[in-house]
Chain A
Amino acid sequence: MNNLPPIISLLIFPGGLFLMAMGLAFEWADRKLVAQFQNRIGPRWFQPLADTVKLLAKEEIMPAGVNSTLFIMLPVVAVAAALTASLNVPLFGLTPVYSFTGDLVVALYLMSLMTLCMGLAGANSNDRFSIMGATRTLTQLFSYEAPFLLALLGPAIAAGTWNISEINTYAGNNLWMVVTQPIGAIIAIIGLMGKLELPPFDAPEAETEIVSGAMTEYSGRGLALFHIGKDVELVVGLTLVTAFYFGGLANPLFFIVKTLGLLVLTAGLQSLFARLRIDQTVGMWWRIGALMAMLQLLILVIFKGFGL
């Protein structure tokens, strides 16, 4: 991707506008798939776009007693973080726009920043539901983050590098890592669902308890930006997991087929379970998730150590 002027690759393709459009398309695919699994019809293809346009056009109401700078800036930072993270991953099966040693850590950090922004936004909102939601969002962050990180570390150790595009190339030239590291793959997929607060990990925004969680007081532009940020993160997250565990992303066709395949899987998981309580989520991740991820790492290190 080094032949495009940086400004274009940042703002239009593959980052920026194109990525946002992709995010909306993926959100639609996700909603439609879940609807189909639940025996509903689901939204029309332009529904996420229509929602975003409507929200952007609406008046933004700021509750009394909030820090207005934070209230306005947090959604912007969230979107910026998600978009920046996308620069390091092989979007659409192309070489990452910006690649350096250790960009895996940076990408993961930027992806967490989004969640952190949502938590802060909720805590800043001066509303009971938002505060409960923020507490849950951050609690959930602490529960899935470590196992998810460990799960993505597996392929990095196998490939012997911390560079996402090198891991991607390694994954493309070897046996799919979902076969060689099945435990890590499962944790990565479930961790991604936790990261995106998809059911059954949607306790932070459980509408029957705390209305909309941290987002309760957001309307208009702020809410639209958070939605876009989340959609972008969905694409980035799916890209990262497929690149690592499902044989790498060598070209756009692979990208579409593999990420959509993973999306079908996560949509199926979303419609299979009842919502977990936040204590169940934390318990599950630390009692099972973290241990399994460590077990996977241990196996990997032993194999690596014996040069197998």
Chain B
Amino acid sequence: MTVEAHTKTEKFIVPIGPQHPALKEPGHFEFSVEGEIVTGASIRLGFVHRGIEKGTEVRNWTQNIYILERVCGICSHVHATAYVLGVEQLAGVTAPPRAQAIRTIVGELERIHSHMLWLGVAAHEGGFDTLFMYSWRDRETVMDMLEAISGNRVHYSVNLLGGVKYDIDQKLTDQFLKGLEFLEERLTHYMKVVTTDETFVGRTKDIGKMPKDEAYMLGSIGPTGRASGVERDIRVDSPYAAYGEFPIKMVTDQAGDLQARFIVRIKELYESIREIREILGHMPESELTVKVPRRIPAGEAFSRVEAPRGELVYFLKSNGTDTPERIKIRTPSLCNWSSIINYAVGHKLADMPMLLAGIDPCFSCNDRSVTITKGGVHQTNWTWEQLRQYGIEYYR
């Protein structure tokens, strides 16, 4: 996949990627520059296509929870949630209220960990390593909380079809409340840093300024869009899990620059902390699971959830057997690339890493399909034998 925005032909191109110290995942960016000013930009993705969608078609509905959690290493829970909500919709069951509440709590904890991770990475891209180290140290608190509930730090595997695996007891509740208090205090400090630190503000204010109508036009979603005033949050627009019972407030900002993206994300964390406290205070009493049939009735389902990076969409199609016919995933990072490409032009090269990090990109999550155009071959349907032959030829 290649996205381009070029203005001139003669150019000095600075390539970033696929292997580059600024990138934690492979992607290829080409910035044509005049001195320090960027005059054109292009993105090439697709280095980490893993064939997960195809992989789901040969596994049964239960096994797929685990493979789909591995679409993303940062927001694994939200992928599983989107999937199980879709399957439950197909099967015509609803998870019990307590299970929904636990899903919501883990989802919000995951958002805290994801945003804090992002805060560190974005600060590092701007050369502010102290903030990077501090925010990652404090992030360990929320990682410990996730480990306490599920036993895992990354792939929590909390979800089941029709419920959740783990319960939250009084001891865990106390630990969570204590951890949240610490996190809130630290986040207040980070908010102060990103809004008042002279050098940091100098690197973020008015950088990549995206007005609201442009953001709508480019389809920006998630915190990136909300920082430009796009009022779109699935948790508010079409509440899932326990968000209906415990509503969340949407955080938006009108500035649309990099600083607004920092502010929106940190404010979202305040909101997450409030939400978790509220749910922990009014935990519904019920079973944790309901029975879901092994064979899911034929039909199609569309499931949307709010991932830390924005709207995550799952399309599920069942043919009545114990394996899905088709699962289509659209991750939020994909919608935000165009905002980088269009706003890179005219900025300094030094702003590029922060601008890239500003949308919180997740490269391997959004590599969904690969189109082969090399060597005059342009074909969308391939048989297994053809693919095999192509591979042999390619590496010859």
Contacts and interface: CB of A to CB of B under 8 A. Distances in A.
Partners in one complex: yes
Contacts of A38: 129-130, 133-134
Interface in B257-278: none
Given A38-B130, A274-B128, A274-B199, A129 B350 contact: no
A209 B349 contact: yes
A278 B36 contact: yes
B21 A208 contact: yes
Contacts of B125: 208
A92 B350 CA distance: 39
SS class of chain B's interface: helix, strand, loop or mixed? helix
A37 interface: yes
A287 interface: no
Nearest to A40: B133
B13 A128 contact: yes
A128 B33 CA distance: 11
Given A38-B134, A39-B133, A209 B353 contact: yes
B20 interface: yes
Contacts of A260: none
A209 B126 contact: no
A278 B15 contact: no
Interface string A19-40: 0000000000000000001111
**Residue among A128, A203, A209, A279 with most chain B CB within 10 A:** A209
Nearest to B350: A277
Given A209-B349, A210-B14, A199 B22 contact: no
B243 interface: no
Interface string B129-144: 1110110010000000
A272 B130 contact: yes
A306 B350 CA distance: 48
Interface residues of A, number: 28
A279 B133 contact: no
Contact of B137 (A39, A209, A278): A39
The 8 residue pairs across chains A and B that have the minimum distance between CB atoms: A275-B127, A274-B128, A208-B22, A273-B199, A208-B353, A38-B133, A277-B350, A274-B199
Given A209-B352, A274-B197, 13 more contacts: A38-B130, A132-B349, A135-B35, A200-B127, A203-B350, A206-B127, A208-B125, A210-B349, A273-B128, A274-B131, A277-B36, A277-B351, A278-B36
25 contacts: A37-B130, A39-B134, A39-B137, A128-B14, A135-B35, A206-B350, A208-B125, A209-B350, A211-B20, A211-B21, A271-B129, A273-B128, A274-B126, A274-B127, A274-B197, A274-B199, A274-B200, A274-B202, A275-B126, A275-B128, A275-B199, A275-B203, A277-B36, A277-B351, A278-B36
Interface of B: 12-15, 20-22, 33, 35-36, 123-131, 133-134, 137, 197-200, 202-203, 348-353
